[in-house]
Amino acid sequence: MTALSLQGDLWMGEQPLIRNLLLDMPTGQCSCLLGASGIGKSTIARLVAGLDGSHHLDGTLRASDNLPLAGRVALMAQGGQLLPWADLVQNVTIGAKLRGERPDTARARALLAQVGLEGLEHRRPAQLSGGQCQRVALARVLIEDRPIVVLDEPFSALDTLTRLAMQDLAAQLLMGRTVILITHDPLEAIRLSDRAWRLSPDGAEPIVLPGSPTPRDYRAPQVLGAQAALLARLQQDMT
Amino acid sequence: MSALNFGIVRALLAGVVAITLWQVLVWATDIPHFILPGPARVALSLWTNAPLLWEHAQFTLFNLLTGMAAGISLGIVTALNLALSPGARLLLRPMLVFAQAVPVFALAPILTLWLGYGAASKTVIVMLVIYFPITSSYFDGLMRLPAPLTDLAQQMQASPIRRLYLLQIPHARPALFSGLRLAVVYAPFAVIIGEWVGSSRGLGYLMLMANGRGQTDLMFAALMVLAAMSLILFGLVERLAKERGPV
């Protein structure tokens, strides 16, 4: 299994984004990065996923086994990763096809059933709701079966109840993987993460989380307390 | 009533209105029939000259179809190559822009000089005229892969050819259809210009000949046949776009 550590200064072109980052993201746990929009959260997602961009890290991004990260990270983003012209099975198996491998359609069907889309395999994304689309994206992440999963605000476009349901589903299905969750939603951070940081241009400040196992009940007093404290902290940043 | 039937009814209605207005204009102004023949006269000419029109229409249609087939395939191949190879983009794109600045219609006399009065010069004119709209709209579509899908390709370590085949080509299908729509509009222009410049057959030739002989009704009849041809082509592309086009 793979833990990740990221340290150094993050740059966007000539502009410093975040200085003195020091993130230790443990194996098989969910590490959450929280912060205002534009702070550089998605840039970290792209950095870890190895995607192109004008960002660069003046520092190190390392897996605990010292092997390169390429091919070991799956990314799930806010939306738009589904192919509008393809049905759900094809959408889930696109990774294999893009690599020139034989797509495992049986496994794609099984995973679609697991994310609650049984019977909809022949639909296209336009015939699904926003929450269902993110279920397809989740099934695609699962079929890739990579040890590290980056979730870049995956549920931010969903309504509150759908979002809660998707958080539970993701927590259940991604258990055991090293997950990096990027979000601006304090409740999401507190429900799902084992470790969490609040990002600011000066670095990453650890967030105090309840001790209970994830996904945490949004009604639990500790969760509500932590959410209130975090909101207050974020509000301080604004002023 | 289905949308298709409704469309046909509307088109027929518009046609009836246009023909009525035309007939009224002819009656009201008493224009001599060699200037503007009425619809009845044109219809009669269509009927009596049917074998002649059919013979020339075949030639024009053949040139239209071969020219379109050549222009469309060449355009698609060029766009795919441009999308796949940065080197080709570097070399070909300025040439395309330059070539687009040359009014292809103006080349018609030269092409006739080089290729003669037969089908070849018309085919080439049609091909050249539709080549640019097809190439540029398809190429644009291929290059405008949305950022999340570009990321997907990179994340899945897709080779350029698989990325093209699995993501760019399906994504660019609507763009290809907008190129095709332009092509069906331009192609009939091009074939007629080609036949006007130099031909011994075809509807363009027939129109010139009829004009010279003062057979304005025959000119109009040829025009009608050409319009019908264009409409059928346009309808075919629209239908294909409806079935295959969106997403």
**Given an 8 Å threshold on Cβ–Cβ distance, is A80 in contact with B149?**
yes
Q: How many CB atoms are located within 10 Å of the residue A212 CB?
A: 11
Average pLDDT over residues A143-166: 90
Convert A100-123 to b/e letters by CB count within 10 Å (16 or more is b): eeebeeebbbebbebbebeebbeb
User: Is A14 near chain B, with CB under 8 Å?
Assistant: no
What are the helix (H) ranges across B156-215? 160-163, 169-171, 173-197, 203-212
First-residue to last-residue Cα distance in chain B = 26
| The pLDDT value given to residue B102 | 80
Q: Measured between CA atoms, how close is A124 to chain B, in angstroms?
A: 10
Question: Which residues lie below 8 Å from residue B223, measured CB to CB, with a gap of 6+?
Answer: B207
| The pLDDT value given to residue B4 | 61
**Given an 8 Å threshold on Cβ–Cβ distance, is A85 in contact with B162?**
no
Q: Which two tokens stand for residue B89?
A: 């983009």
Greater pLDDT, B247 or B131:
B131
Mean pLDDT (chain B) is: 89
Average pLDDT over residues B223-239: 91
Count of residues making up chain B: 247
pLDDT tens, position by position, B161-197: 999 999 999 999 999 999 999 999 999 989 999 999 8
* Alpha-carbon gap, residue A101 to A113, rounded angstroms: 23
**Is residue A136 within 8 Å of A115, Cβ to Cβ?**
yes
- Residue A146 with chain B: CB contacts under 8 Å: none
Bridge partners of A5, per DSSP, are: A24, A62
Question: Between chain A and chain B, how many beta carbons pairs sit less than 8 Å apart?
Answer: 59
pLDDT at A140 over 70: yes
- Closest CB from B147, B166, B170 relative to A98: B166
**Is residue A45 within 8 Å of A181, Cβ to Cβ?**
no
| The pLDDT value given to residue A70 | 82
* Alpha-carbon gap, residue A39 to A23, rounded angstroms: 16
pLDDT at A222 over 80: yes
User: Is B171 near chain A, with CB under 8 Å?
Assistant: yes
- Residue A76 with chain B: CB contacts under 8 Å: none
Biggest CA-to-CA distance, chain A: 54
* Alpha-carbon gap, residue B118 to B198, rounded angstroms: 9
- Residue A126 with chain B: CB contacts under 8 Å: 247
Calculate the CA dihedral of residues B201, B206, B209, B215 and round it to 10 degrees: 160
User: Is A59 near chain B, with CB under 8 Å?
Assistant: no
**Given an 8 Å threshold on Cβ–Cβ distance, is A99 in contact with B147?**
no
* Alpha-carbon gap, residue A14 to B222, rounded angstroms: 67
Q: Measured between CA atoms, how close is A224 to chain B, in angstroms?
A: 34
User: Is B241 near chain A, with CB under 8 Å?
Assistant: no
Per-residue confidence at A83, pLDDT binned at 50, 70, 90?
A: very high
pLDDT at A2 over 60: yes
User: Is A92 near chain B, with CB under 8 Å?
Assistant: no
User: Is B144 near chain A, with CB under 8 Å?
Assistant: no
Sort B157 into a burial class: Cβ within 10 Å, 0-12 / 13-18 / 19+. Answer: middle
* Alpha-carbon gap, residue B183 to B99, rounded angstroms: 17
**Is residue A61 within 8 Å of A47, Cβ to Cβ?**
yes
* Alpha-carbon gap, residue A205 to A229, rounded angstroms: 14
| The pLDDT value given to residue A79 | 78
User: Is A68 near chain B, with CB under 8 Å?
Assistant: no
| The pLDDT value given to residue A162 | 87
pLDDT tens, position by position, B126-141: 999 999 889 999 999 9
Q: Measured between CA atoms, how close is A120 to chain B, in angstroms?
A: 18
Bridge partners of A151, per DSSP, are: A76, A181
| The pLDDT value given to residue B162 | 96
Q: Measured between CA atoms, how close is B141 to chain A, in angstroms?
A: 15
User: Is A81 near chain B, with CB under 8 Å?
Assistant: yes
| The pLDDT value given to residue B105 | 79
pLDDT tens, position by position, B85-108: 988 888 888 888 887 788 877 888
Q: How many CB atoms are located within 10 Å of the residue A43 CB?
A: 22
* Alpha-carbon gap, residue A127 to A224, rounded angstroms: 36
**Given an 8 Å threshold on Cβ–Cβ distance, is B162 in contact with A100?**
yes
Per-residue confidence at B55, pLDDT binned at 50, 70, 90?
A: very high
In 3-state terms, what secondary structure has residue A179?
Answer: strand
- Closest CB from A52, A79, A84 relative to B247: A84
**Given an 8 Å threshold on Cβ–Cβ distance, is A97 in contact with B166?**
yes
**Given an 8 Å threshold on Cβ–Cβ distance, is A81 in contact with B167?**
no
**Is residue B103 within 8 Å of B44, Cβ to Cβ?**
no
Per-residue confidence at B246, pLDDT binned at 50, 70, 90?
A: low
In 3-state terms, what secondary structure has residue B176?
Answer: helix
User: Is B247 near chain A, with CB under 8 Å?
Assistant: yes
* Alpha-carbon gap, residue A87 to A110, rounded angstroms: 15
pLDDT tens, position by position, B5-26: 677 888 889 989 998 999 899 8
Residue type, B160: P
Please name the residue of chain A whose CA is at the shortest distance from the CA of residue B160. A98
Nearest to B238 by CA among B165, B182, B188: B182
Please name the residue of chain A whose CA is at the shortest distance from the CA of residue B157. A99
- With a pLDDT cut of 70, the percent of chain B lying above it is 97
**Given an 8 Å threshold on Cβ–Cβ distance, is B153 in contact with A51?**
no
Query: Which of A36-50, A52-66, B63-77, B107-121: highest mean pLDDT?
Result: B63-77
Residue type, B105: F
